[in-house]
């Protein structure tokens, strides 16, 4: 297929669509939506055609401009990369479709083309970020999606939106600089920018302390992007104030890029063998797993005390980043597989949450939790989607969230970390408190006689939400579709 | 554990109740009467689908079906063995009666109510038919969640509080069970139910086994309302509509017991539990629950709350019987599952009729109810006498077998617990019967009508069963025949 031979198209295609979006807007503003949808869908088609082409050790590789690595930029799609691009491209069309009516409602018409352009840019850069094999290229993509995200948070132009975007920008820029510094250090230590090449050189050349410093900087920088406690403070503002589809994009995918960054640094570049050379590696893994547990517990408590629906959901993302990183950092095969699976589970569940929150805002500016009373009776599909996604976020069977949690906990037990099991289960109880509270408001309270003025909302909005909710159930029941591959990927990662 | 065959029938049984959702979607709003017929029909169909497994269950044969692989070593699988069949047939039968009863009792939010009834039936059967701890946990959690809408059906302030309490207890218990499942899998390497011990001294040291055992008891003990984990029961039962409380007490508490039975017979095994020395502590806990639960029941004035505390006490009979770790004790315990289910279902359904017809739920206001609702109160009296353990009722058989079990296990002093409990049962049930029949004049004049037939008939059936189970104990097809097979395989 085309994509397997020329994976660069995965980045080039949406980039072209993004570039021509403002041009198209000069001719006709209303053309931006179909244009963006076409671009995203075409990329989805390309990305999904790669399924089955990637094997655990033999990644799909492509040398840009024919330059061989380590001199040229290489695109390498491994299991994790494939998982991420499939996820990004699965969510992309749904979010664009959802944006259509929401953006009409929330943005001034002249800003709509910017919205779709920025959306496409974030989309492009996320794909690029996950599939590139070159460290500096990765940084460039990171900057693209970060800067586009700042702009998307501020796109309404409202005062608090600008303030939240500025806070996001300050922390994001600091983290980007930290990562850049790390790249520079690593380059000075190894003389290479290709990730595979660096990992080989780290093994074969004598150990230099700069490499360990670079690792610490990587972790510090990407932790901010991932919104790990205690550097999560930008997230609740940015994610709650952004327009709903942007919140979904940021929460479901953009913060996952921070996780992927951590993953690339810790596993792809350094790898468990680095632990034999410097104790930094293992101690960092330990620190991150404890911070992850702190994220779970503190994030959940903060989510519980919120009164604003979207802020609550935003804090919930902090919780789940904790679960994902806990899974990845217990350094067992099952834990890693569970962490990767939770990326998928959380992306679907959280995107659904934000889309539902957006529908409630669209239909009458309902942002407070107590304003949601009884909406389950008038908006059964929307509220039902929320309820199902809530099961997944809490980790109840038969949803993807449960399978992910099961694996993560199992990984913790395999690694002998019983205290993490206890703490993680405690976290899921707290998660149940804030998620089921909303389900309770939606379905079991409120007036007997429904308000006739409220109905379901546009189909382009509730169908994406419902599909995401069904997705969590699908991947919960048929977890076996993915888990063997993730297990293999985890084994390869940890066997280095 | 002779023959094992594979069949898709268990899967069909578990998912048949889901058809009720189809019925609700098609006719729930437009043709409510047809929809109700569908709900009842589907519950009856589920019962009929379980029946054919009777012969195999009596043989001790096992029917299995793998649904989905989850991980190597764990799969979603169904398995019908004798104990699973016993629970499934019992709960499906009670479910049918409760659904019929609901036709007359439930007047609001019917679609939601019947849908969650059907889902709950599906998940309860799923628990009974689980082939391993993982599958059991999945269905158990789903069942826990789907019970919530039944408890808060009335959406009163009281129901909400009860529902919240229920959720907190259940979800915490679910997390605890999950930890148990993970630990069991880690140490034993298998979660399958095979009819004998799968987690043994060869797999883990004694402290680890004790920890896993305690975790399971804590987790399942919430549904099985072992004190002090019973907190949700006295709130949830009165808050739920009568047919739902009948099922809560008759079935859902027993599902907790079912988990304990699996832990007993299929995870640790009787022999090993003797070695672990958990029998005596569990017997003390059960005895404590029986006596203190009964004492609490006496102090309650709300009829349904009194019945709820009575359930707390009576369900611990099962635990007492099982943890005697003696054949007759187990027979008594397992018989109590059915006996208590019928007795308590009768009592709750009767209390539902009383509330529905007279609007009274305070036990002090029931003077003369017997003349207005003679058949209802007759059923109520029979079941209450059963609770006390009067001969010729189901309750007597339980107590007799438990007593024999106490002697077999060389712990005769626990018979005292049974006797004290009977006495306490008399203290809180006899005044109600006395007041209903012999105190005060007829309420509301002559008996024109008893109540709706859809409500009366289920009550009379369950009431009749209290007598049948007490008189025709060993007739094939009644619980004893199955329970005998189960205990023979284990001891």
Which residues does chain B have within 8 Å of residue A473's beta carbon, measured at their own beta carbons? none
Cross-chain residue pair A410–B182, CB shorter than 8 Å: yes
- Would the pLDDT of B445 be above 60? no
Q: Which residues pair with B362 in a beta bridge?
A: B302
Q: Which of A398, A401, A434, A444 to mutate to test the interface with B (most CBs of B within 10 A)?
A: A444
The predicted pLDDT at position B30 comes to: 83
Cross-chain residue pair A480–B155, CB shorter than 8 Å: no
Cross-chain residue pair A406–B163, CB shorter than 8 Å: no
- What integer is the mean pLDDT of B274-283? 90
- What integer is the mean pLDDT of A357-385? 87
Which residues does chain B have within 8 Å of residue A485's beta carbon, measured at their own beta carbons? none
Which residues does chain B have within 8 Å of residue A445's beta carbon, measured at their own beta carbons? 155, 160
Q: Which of A384, A388, A397 to mutate to test the interface with B (most CBs of B within 10 A)?
A: A397
Q: In sequence order, which ranges of A330-397 are alpha helices (DSSP H)?
A: 333-362, 375-378, 380-394
Q: Which residues pair with B76 in a beta bridge?
A: B68
Q: Is the dihedral of CA A215, A218, A221, A224 positive or negative?
A: negative
To the nearest whole angstrom, how far is the Cα of A373 from the nearest Cα of chain B?
13
Top pLDDT among A469 and A6 is at: A469
Q: Which residues pair with A421 in a beta bridge?
A: none
Of A397, A409, A483, the CB nearest to B182: A409
User: Rounded distance, CA B219 to CA A371, Å?
Assistant: 35
B163 touches chain A (CB under 8 A): yes
* pLDDT band, residue B372 (cuts 50/70/90): confident
Chain centre to alpha carbon of residue B390: 21
Closest CA to B264 of B208, B326, B332: B326
Which residues does chain B have within 8 Å of residue A429's beta carbon, measured at their own beta carbons? 171-172, 175
User: Rounded distance, CA A444 to CA B157, Å?
Assistant: 11
* pLDDT band, residue B4 (cuts 50/70/90): low
Coil, helix or strand at residue A67:
coil
- What integer is the mean pLDDT of A108-128? 91
- What integer is the mean pLDDT of B164-178? 92
Lowest mean pLDDT among A293-297, A386-390, B56-60, B100-104: B56-60
Q: Which of residues 392-451 of A touch B (CB under 8 A)?
A: 396-398, 403, 406-407, 409-410, 413-414, 421-422, 425-426, 428-429, 432, 436, 440, 443-445
Top pLDDT among B61 and A260 is at: A260
The predicted pLDDT at position B318 comes to: 93
The predicted pLDDT at position B473 comes to: 83
The predicted pLDDT at position B2 comes to: 42
Lowest mean pLDDT among A176-185, A294-303, A434-443: A434-443
Could you give the percent of chain B with pLDDT greater than 90? 43
User: Rounded distance, CA A244 to CA B337, Å?
Assistant: 52
Of B142, B172, B179, the CB nearest to A397: B142
Which residues does chain A have within 8 Å of residue B178's beta carbon, measured at their own beta carbons? 406, 409, 425
Cross-chain residue pair B179–A421, CB shorter than 8 Å: yes
- Would the pLDDT of B3 be above 60? no
Q: What is the ipTM of this complex?
A: 0.87
Which residues does chain B have within 8 Å of residue A413's beta carbon, measured at their own beta carbons? 182-183, 186
- Helices A209-226 and A255-263: angle between axes, nearest 10 degrees: 160
Structural contact between residues B466 and B382, judged by C-beta atoms closer than 8 angstroms: yes
Cross-chain residue pair B70–A480, CB shorter than 8 Å: yes
* pLDDT band, residue A1 (cuts 50/70/90): low
Which residues does chain B have within 8 Å of residue A480's beta carbon, measured at their own beta carbons? 68-70
Q: Is the dihedral of CA B485, B486, B490, B491 positive or negative?
A: negative
Tokens of A218: 């990587």
Q: pLDDT tens, A425-454? A: 999 999 999 999 999 888 888 765 556 566
Tokens of B222: 């919430």
Coil, helix or strand at residue A129:
helix
Closest CA to A346 of A295, A306, A307, A304: A295
Of B137, B164, B175, the CB nearest to A429: B175
- Considering the entire predicted model, what is its pTM? 0.91
- What integer is the mean pLDDT of B391-403? 89
- Would the pLDDT of A57 be above 70? no
Q: pLDDT tens, B67-92? A: 877 776 788 888 888 899 999 999 99
Cross-chain residue pair A436–B167, CB shorter than 8 Å: yes
- What integer is the mean pLDDT of A286-302? 93
B171 touches chain A (CB under 8 A): yes
* pLDDT band, residue B154 (cuts 50/70/90): confident
Lowest mean pLDDT among A58-72, A172-186, B96-110, B342-356: A58-72
The predicted pLDDT at position A488 comes to: 87
Q: Which of B178, B183, B189, B207 to mutate to test the interface with A (most CBs of A within 10 A)?
A: B178
Selection from A391-395, A476-480, B370-374, B450-454 with the highest mean pLDDT? A391-395
Mean pLDDT rounded to a whole number for chain A: 89
Of B70, B137, B171, the CB nearest to A429: B171
Q: pLDDT tens, A305-356? A: 999 999 999 999 999 999 999 999 988 988 999 999 999 999 999 999 999 9
To the nearest whole angstrom, how far is the Cα of A182 from the nearest Cα of chain B?
39
User: Rounded distance, CA B188 to CA B181, Å?
Assistant: 10
The predicted pLDDT at position A139 comes to: 94
B155 touches chain A (CB under 8 A): yes
Question: End-to-end distance of chain B based on CA atoms, in angstroms?
Answer: 13
The predicted pLDDT at position A209 comes to: 86
Cross-chain residue pair B70–A403, CB shorter than 8 Å: yes
């Amino acid at each position: 297929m085309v994509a397997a031979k020329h994976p660069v198209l995965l980045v080039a295609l949406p980039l072209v669509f993004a570039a021509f979006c403002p041009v198209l807007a000069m001719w006709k503003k209303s053309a931006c939506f179909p244009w963006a949808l076409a671009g995203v869908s075409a990329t989805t088609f390309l990305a999904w055609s790669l399924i089955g082409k990637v094997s655990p050790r033999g990644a799909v590789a492509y040398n840009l401009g024919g330059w061989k690595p380590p001199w040229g930029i290489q695109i390498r799609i491994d299991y994790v990369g494939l998982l991420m691009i499939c996820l990004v491209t699965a969510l992309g069309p749904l979010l664009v479709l959802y944006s259509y009516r929401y953006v009409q409602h929330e943005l001034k018409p002249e800003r709509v083309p910017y919205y779709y352009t920025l959306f496409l840019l974030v989309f492009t850069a996320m794909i690029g970020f996950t599939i590139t094999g070159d460290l500096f290229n990765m940084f460039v993509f990171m900057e693209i999606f970060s800067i586009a995200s700042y702009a998307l948070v501020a796109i309404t132009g409202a005062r608090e939106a600008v303030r939240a975007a500025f806070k996001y920008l300050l922390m994001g820029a600091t983290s980007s600089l930290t990562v850049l510094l790390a790249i520079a250090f690593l380059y000075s230590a190894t003389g290479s920018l290709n990730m595979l090449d660096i990992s080989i050189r780290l093994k074969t050349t004598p150990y230099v302390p700069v490499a360990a410093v670079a690792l610490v900087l990587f972790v510090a920088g990407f932790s901010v992007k991932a919104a790990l406690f205690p550097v999560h403070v930008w997230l609740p503002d940015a994610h709650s104030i952004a327009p709903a589809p942007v919140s979904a994009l940021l929460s479901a995918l953009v913060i996952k890029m921070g996780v992927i960054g951590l993953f690339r640094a810790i596993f792809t570049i350094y790898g468990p063998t680095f632990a034999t050379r410097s104790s930094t590696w293992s101690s960092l893994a330990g620190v991150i797993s404890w911070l992850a547990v702190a994220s779970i517990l503190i994030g959940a408590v903060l989510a519980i005390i919120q009164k604003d629906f979207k802020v609550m959901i935003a804090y919930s993302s902090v919780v789940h980043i904790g679960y994902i990183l806990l899974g990845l950092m217990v350094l067992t095969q099952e834990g890693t597989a569970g962490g990767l699976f939770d990326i998928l589970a959380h992306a679907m569940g959280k995107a659904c949450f934000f889309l539902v929150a957006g529908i409630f805002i669209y239909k009458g500016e309902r942002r407070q939790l107590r304003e949601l009373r009884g909406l389950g009776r008038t908006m059964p599909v929307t509220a039902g989607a929320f309820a199902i996604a809530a099961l997944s976020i809490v980790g109840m069977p038969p949803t993807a969230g449960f399978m992910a949690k099961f694996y993560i906990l199992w990984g913790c037990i395999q690694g002998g970390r019983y205290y993490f099991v206890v703490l993680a289960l405690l976290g899921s109880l707290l998660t149940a408190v804030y998620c089921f509270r909303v389900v309770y408001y939606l379905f079991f309270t409120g007036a007997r006689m429904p308000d006739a003025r409220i109905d379901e909302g546009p189909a382009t909005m509730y169908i994406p939400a419902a599909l995401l909710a069904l997705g969590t159930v699908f991947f919960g029941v048929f977890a076996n579709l993915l888990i063997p591959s993730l297990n293999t990927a985890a084994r390869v990662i940890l066997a280095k | 554990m002779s023959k094992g065959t594979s069949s898709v029938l268990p899967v069909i049984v578990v998912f048949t109740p889901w058809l009720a959702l189809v019925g609700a979607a098609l006719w729930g709003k437009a043709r409510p009467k047809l929809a109700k017929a569908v709900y009842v029909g589907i519950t009856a169909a589920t019962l009929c689908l379980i029946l054919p497994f009777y012969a195999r269950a009596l043989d001790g044969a096992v029917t299995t079906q793998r649904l989905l692989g989850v991980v190597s070593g764990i799969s979603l699988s169904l398995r019908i063995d004798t104990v699973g069949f016993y629970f499934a047939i019992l709960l499906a039968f009670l479910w049918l009666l409760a659904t019929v009863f609901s036709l007359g009792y439930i007047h609001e939010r019917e679609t939601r109510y019947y849908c969650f009834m059907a889902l709950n039936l599906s998940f309860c059967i799923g628990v009974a038919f689980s082939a391993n701890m993982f599958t059991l946990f999945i269905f158990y959690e789903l069942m826990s969640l789907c019970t919530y809408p039944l408890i808060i059906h009335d959406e009163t302030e009281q129901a909400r509080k009860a529902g919240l309490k229920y959720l907190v207890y259940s979800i915490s218990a679910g997390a605890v069970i999950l930890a148990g499942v993970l630990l069991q899998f880690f140490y034993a390497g298998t979660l399958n139910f095979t009819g004998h011990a799968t987690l043994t001294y060869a797999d883990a040291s004694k402290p680890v086994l004790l920890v896993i055992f305690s975790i399971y008891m804590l987790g399942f003990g919430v549904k099985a309302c072992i004190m002090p984990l019973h907190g949700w029961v006295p709130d949830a039962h009165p808050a739920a509509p009568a047919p739902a409380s009948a099922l809560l007490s008759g079935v859902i508490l027993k599902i907790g017991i079912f988990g304990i039975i699996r832990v007993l017979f299929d995870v640790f095994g009787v022999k090993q539990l003797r070695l672990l020395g958990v029998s005596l502590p569990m017997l003390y806990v059960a005895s404590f629950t029986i006596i203190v639960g009964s004492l609490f029941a006496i102090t309650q004035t709300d009829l349904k709350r009194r019945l709820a505390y009575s359930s707390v006490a009576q369900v611990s009979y099962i635990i007492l019987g099982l943890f005697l770790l003696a054949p007759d004790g187990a027979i008594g315990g397992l018989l109590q599952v059915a006996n208590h289910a019928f007795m308590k279902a009768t009592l709750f359904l009767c209390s539902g009729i009383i509330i529905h017809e007279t609007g009274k739920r305070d036990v002090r206001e029931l003077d003369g109810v017997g003349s207005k609702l003679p058949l209802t109160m007759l059923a109520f009296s029979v079941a209450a006498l059963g609770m006390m353990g009067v001969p010729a009722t189901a309750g007597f058989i339980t107590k007799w077998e438990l007593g024999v079990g106490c002697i077999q296990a060389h712990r005769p002093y626990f018979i005292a617990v049974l006797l004290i409990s009977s006495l306490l049962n008399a203290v809180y049930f006899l005044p109600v019967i006395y007041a209903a029949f012999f105190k005060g004049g007829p309420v509301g004049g002559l008996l024109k009508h008893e109540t709706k037939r859809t409500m009366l008939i289920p009550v009379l059936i369950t009431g009749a069963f209290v007598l049948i189970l007490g008189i025709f104990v060993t007739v094939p097809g009644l619980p004893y025949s199955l329970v005998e097979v189960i205990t023979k395989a284990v001891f």
